[in-house]
């Protein structure tokens, strides 16, 4: 293969970053294959399925020019002599299970022995970009959706090369051979293992076109399969980014400004420097133009102790000091006038409608709080750097690191680590925690500390100084008739844009509307809607949070639809099906499956308990919930959840079940009193799980997950299980209490 990584082939925002980060100010027009291979070797990337890089170069030279790096087995499959197959995944696994699902897909077409399949994370190498987006990305529930065909073809190409190697060895036509469970089988039943054939196979040309299996012949895909990381995680032996340990490594914590963007006025570090193990106390730039103080020590504990005794004065002049109460009042004022239009249907019939419904909904800022707080380890070695972290966008983070450190982007190696959650927090256009860690490492180097530096965030750091799901206000006016026909729906949303000012703005802000803020509005119901949006600029950093805009749009749509059904004395399931008509068969199938399995309409519930229903599509998958809930001691209580899921083909039903269980629990977290992030005088008022509520094991309901059978190409599952939970819960509580809920989290009844 003649490989050339052309500058113009990169996404536009990466071109801009490359321009900024190239010392000469002008990006290299291309990266020759030999230089590229050298860079790969330096970064610890093994290009071949075989132990020596020279063979990888030979194989690359023979690959057809039509194949992209994302389509060639060399970067993704390594077969050892004992037949062990190691699959490199092009995503971050932070609990969602792609570390098992992607190898499962590849192993299906490879006809591998699943008991011998292993997996490792990729890095910021071009082969590991999302094949649909052209950038390194784990997000939008796209891992399986976008790489399903890619990994099938990778497996099929590898299998074809193994068959060709066996055919050459036996001097028989390849068409006479078949594969099964890690072996190529020839005439008379003779066979060769993949381990015996791998080295020879990978010197052969990579086939450009391959024939994939008929889904009816799958032996792995679609079968419930245990996760490859289950043993490590259940025994506590799994390493995460926070566990990085390098020779001579130092650990840093940063005192960040209490108000976003503030700077250091003065500080006294005498007490901090007196603590044993402290190596340096340094001023460093932090996110949003702010400034902080980094304490670098031999371990986390001395660094934290030193930060605790640091005497700091902050300069908060010139930065907005947000107050949640005042902000809500200003949002309410904005709803009195239309914003930028998303839908502009004729809603004039509202005025003469026999029934009207006016509603206002409030959604607060929410923190991500993954169980593994943010961390990034940086080692600077001359004009090269290596980073260890759990990242959803290693390519973007690598470019950001190069910019800070003043090195060439190709000299930055990202070692993607398993991450303990993220929910969007590890995919950020500003690369805030990566940039900060690089600033700390650079400052340490300048101060004479020639060692890798691991920058760690505490839980308090994350809750008080992270990025948040934006606060939103919805205001709706709806007119409908006695049959529940919606005559007009006039709707205004106020909330910060997640993508404005980021590299994603060009494709995700349309006519002044951030598409993430309105996703899920109107669908799947037929109705005339006028929808407008205000996106105020507020000094609070905001980011996608698991299921993004659907965290609030699903709640608004599904509780209002339920309220109209109740007002017109219609069964909420039947009413939804009527509004869907025949245009949304996947919604219908998911809802009907959840209803059937829950016993809704057939089973009598205990006194004080009621059913709640909701259905929502996000990231191309549909999840419907039928829940049972009550009110105990003034608190809403969720007892039972039945899910109907339509994600097309479920690659690993076990993983889908786990995803929905986890997403439902996270959806419940939005409902519990105390789950909000609030600000006063610019300072976040919450700090840890003592004052920021998350569900405990006693809050977890019984949950059953049922999947609609399908052979169509899979759609996303990381996020779709979340949105419909809160409205289903609210709809059940409304039937118990007689009160409609307009705010998340719930307040006491």
- The tally of domains found in the chain comes to 3
Gap between the terminal Cα atoms of the chain: 67
Judge whether 324 lies within some domain.
no
3 state SS of 178: strand
- The Cα–Cα gap between 654 and 644 comes to 14
- φ, ψ of residue 552 to 5 degrees: the values are -115, -35
Q: Name 485's Cβ contacts closer than 8 Å, sequence gap at least 6.
A: none
* Same domain flag for 257 and 167: no
pLDDT of residue 52: 24
- The Cα–Cα gap between 603 and 626 comes to 13
Judge whether 34 lies within some domain.
yes
Name the stretches of the chain with pLDDT < 50.
Answer: 1-61
- The Cα–Cα gap between 90 and 106 comes to 12
Q: Among candidates 267, 279, 252, which has minimal Cα distance to 312?
A: 267
* Same domain flag for 305 and 230: no
- The Cα–Cα gap between 601 and 595 comes to 8
3 state SS of 624: strand
* Same domain flag for 361 and 410: no
Q: How many CB atoms lie within 10 A of CB 538?
A: 19
Judge whether 744 lies within some domain.
no
* Same domain flag for 215 and 353: no
Judge whether 328 lies within some domain.
no
- Overall pTM > 0.85: yes
Q: DSSP states of 537-592 as a string?
A: --SS-B---TTTTHHHHHHHHHHHHHHHHHHTT--HHHHHHHHHTTS-HHHHHHHH
Can you read off the two tokens belonging to residue 701?
Answer: 């309901």
- The Cα–Cα gap between 459 and 50 comes to 42
Judge whether 436 lies within some domain.
yes
* SS3 of the chain: helix, strand, coil, percent, to 5: 35, 25, 40
Asked whether the beta carbons of 642 and 598 are under 8 A apart, the reply is yes
CA dist 443 → 292, 342, 405, 440, 518 (Å): 12, 47, 10, 5, 42
- The Cα–Cα gap between 653 and 643 comes to 13
* Same domain flag for 347 and 309: no
Q: Is the dihedral of CA 234, 239, 241, 245 positive or negative?
A: positive
Judge whether 721 lies within some domain.
yes
pLDDT of residue 633: 87
Q: Between β-strands 453-456 and 250-255, what pairing exists: parallel, antiparallel or unpaired?
A: parallel
Q: Among candidates 553, 725, 715, which has minimal Cα distance to 624?
A: 725
* Same domain flag for 550 and 634: yes
Asked whether the beta carbons of 254 and 293 are under 8 A apart, the reply is yes
Q: Is the dihedral of CA 383, 50, 128, 27 positive or negative?
A: positive
Query: Bridge-partner residues for 388, per DSSP?
Result: 377, 415
Q: Among 426, 456, 486, identify where a domain stops.
A: 456
Q: Among candidates 714, 151, 729, 694, which has minimal Cα distance to 421?
A: 694
Asked whether the beta carbons of 529 and 491 are under 8 A apart, the reply is yes
Asked whether the beta carbons of 634 and 749 are under 8 A apart, the reply is yes
Cα dihedral 385, 389, 394, 397, rounded to 10, equals -60
- The Cα–Cα gap between 717 and 657 comes to 10
C-alpha triplet 703, 705, 707: angle, nearest 5°: 170
Q: Name 701's Cβ contacts closer than 8 Å, sequence gap at least 6.
A: 627, 638, 639, 640, 641, 664, 668
Asked whether the beta carbons of 328 and 435 are under 8 A apart, the reply is no
* Same domain flag for 436 and 533: no
Q: Among 399, 424, 456, identify where a domain stops.
A: 456
Question: In this predicted model, what pLDDT tens digit does every residue of 690-727 receive, in sequence order?
Answer: 999 999 999 999 999 999 999 999 999 999 999 999 99
Query: Bridge-partner residues for 356, per DSSP?
Result: 479
**Which range of residues forms the domain containing residue 250?**
241-318+374-456
* Same domain flag for 582 and 694: yes
* Same domain flag for 293 and 339: no
* Same domain flag for 362 and 389: no
Q: Name 628's Cβ contacts closer than 8 Å, sequence gap at least 6.
A: 605, 609, 610, 611, 612, 638, 639, 640, 641, 732
Q: DSSP states of 102-159 as a string?
A: HHHHHHHHHT--GGGEEEEE-BSSGGGS-TTTSS----TT-HHHHHHHHHHHHHHHHH
* Same domain flag for 48 and 153: yes
Q: Among 428, 456, 484, identify where a domain stops.
A: 456
CATH no. for residue 210? 3.30.365.10
Residue with tokens 């209002």: 560
Asked whether the beta carbons of 88 and 76 are under 8 A apart, the reply is yes
* Same domain flag for 230 and 257: no
Q: Among candidates 396, 373, 378, 370, which has minimal Cα distance to 437?
A: 378
Judge whether 461 lies within some domain.
no
Question: In this predicted model, what pLDDT tens digit does every residue of 391-405 receive, in sequence order?
Answer: 999 999 999 999 999
Which helix (H) or strand (E) is 192 found in, with range? strand 191-193
pLDDT of residue 634: 86
- The Cα–Cα gap between 376 and 429 comes to 16
Judge whether 742 lies within some domain.
no
């Amino acid at each position: 293969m003649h490989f050339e990584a052309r500058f113009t082939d990169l996404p536009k925002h990466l071109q801009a970053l490359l321009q900024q980060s190239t010392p000469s100010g002008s990006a290299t027009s291309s990266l020759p294959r030999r230089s590229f291979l050298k860079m790969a070797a330096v970064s610890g990337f093994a290009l071949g399925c075989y132990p020596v890089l020279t063979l990888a170069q030979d194989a690359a030279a023979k690959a057809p020019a039509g194949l992209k790096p994302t389509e060639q087995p060399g970067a993704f499959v390594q077969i050892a002599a004992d037949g062990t197959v190691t699959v490199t995944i092009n995503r971050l696994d932070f609990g969602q299970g792609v570390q098992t699902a992607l190898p499962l897909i590849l192993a299906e077409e490879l006809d591998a022995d699943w008991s011998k399949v292993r997996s490792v994370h990729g890095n910021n190498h071009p082969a590991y970009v999302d094949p649909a987006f052209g950038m390194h990305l784990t997000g939008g529930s796209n891992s399986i959706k976008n790489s399903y065909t890619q990994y099938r073809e990778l497996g099929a190409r590898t299998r074809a090369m193994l068959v060709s190697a066996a055919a050459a060895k036996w001097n028989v036509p390849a068409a006479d051979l078949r594969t099964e469970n890690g072996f190529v089988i020839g005439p008379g039943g003779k066979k060769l293992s993949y381990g015996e054939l791998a080295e020879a196979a990978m010197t052969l040309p990579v086939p450009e076109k391959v024939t994939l299996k008929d889904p009816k012949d799958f032996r792995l895909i679609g079968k419930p399969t245990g996760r490859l990381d289950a043993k490590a995680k259940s025994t506590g032996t799994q390493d995460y980014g926070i566990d990085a340990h390098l020779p001579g490594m130092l650990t840093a914590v940063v005192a960040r400004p209490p108000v976003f963007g503030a700077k250091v006025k003065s500080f006294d570090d005498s007490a901090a420097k007196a603590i044993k193990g402290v190596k340096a106390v340094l001023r460093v730039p932090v996110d949003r133009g702010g400034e902080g103080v980094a304490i670098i020590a031999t371990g986390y504990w001395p660094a934290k102790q030193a930060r605790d005794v640091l005497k700091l004065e902050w300069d908060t002049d010139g930065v907005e000091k947000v107050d949640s109460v005042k902000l809500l009042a200003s949002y309410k004022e904005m709803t009195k006038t239309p914003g930028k239009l998303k839908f502009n249907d004729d809603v004039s019939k509202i005025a003469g409608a026999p029934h009207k419904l006016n509603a206002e909904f409030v959604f607060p800022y929410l923190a991500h709080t993954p169980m593994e707080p943010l961390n990034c380890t940086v080692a600077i070695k001359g004009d090269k750097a290596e980073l260890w972290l759990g990242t959803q966008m290693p390519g973007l983070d690598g470019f950001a690191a190069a910019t800070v450190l003043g090195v060439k982007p190709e000299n930055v190696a990202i070692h993607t680590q398993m991450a303990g959650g993220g929910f969007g927090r590890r995919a950020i256009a500003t690369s805030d925690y990566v940039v900060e860690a690089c600033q700390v490492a650079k400052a340490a180097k300048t101060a004479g500390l020639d060692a890798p530096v691991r920058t760690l965030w505490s839980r308090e750091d994350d809750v008080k100084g992270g990025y948040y799901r934006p606060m939103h206000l919805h205001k709706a006016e709806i007119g409908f008739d006695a049959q529940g026909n919606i005559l007009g729906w006039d709707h205004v949303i106020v909330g910060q844009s997640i993508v404005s000012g980021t590299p994603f703005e060009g494709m995700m802000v349309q006519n002044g509307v951030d598409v993430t803020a309105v996703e899920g509005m109107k669908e799947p119901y037929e109705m005339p809607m006028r929808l407008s949006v205000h996106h105020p600029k507020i000094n609070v950093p905001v980011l996608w949070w698991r299921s993004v805009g659907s965290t609030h749009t699903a709640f608004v749509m599904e509780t209002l639809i339920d309220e109209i059904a109740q007002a017109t004395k219609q069964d909420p399931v039947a009413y939804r099906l009527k509004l869907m008509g025949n245009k949304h068969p996947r919604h219908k199938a998911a809802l009907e499956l959840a209803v059937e399995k829950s016993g809704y309409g057939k089973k009598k519930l205990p006194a004080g308990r009621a059913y709640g229903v909701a259905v929502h599509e996000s990231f191309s998958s549909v999840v419907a919930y039928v829940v049972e809930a009550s009110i105990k001691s003034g608190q809403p209580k969720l007892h039972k959840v039945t899910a109907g899921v339509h994600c097309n083909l479920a690659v690993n039903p076990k993983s889908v079940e786990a995803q929905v269980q986890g997403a439902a629990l996270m959806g419940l977290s939005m409902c519990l009193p105390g789950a909000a992030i609030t600000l006063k005088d610019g300072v976040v008022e919450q700090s840890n799980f003592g004052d920021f509520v998350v569900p405990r094991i006693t809050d977890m309901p019984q949950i059953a997950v049922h999947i609609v059978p399908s052979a169509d190409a899979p759609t996303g599952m990381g996020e779709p299980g979340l949105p419909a939970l809160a409205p289903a819960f609210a709809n059940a509580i409304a039937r118990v209490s007689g009160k409609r809920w307009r705010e998340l989290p719930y307040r006491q009844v």
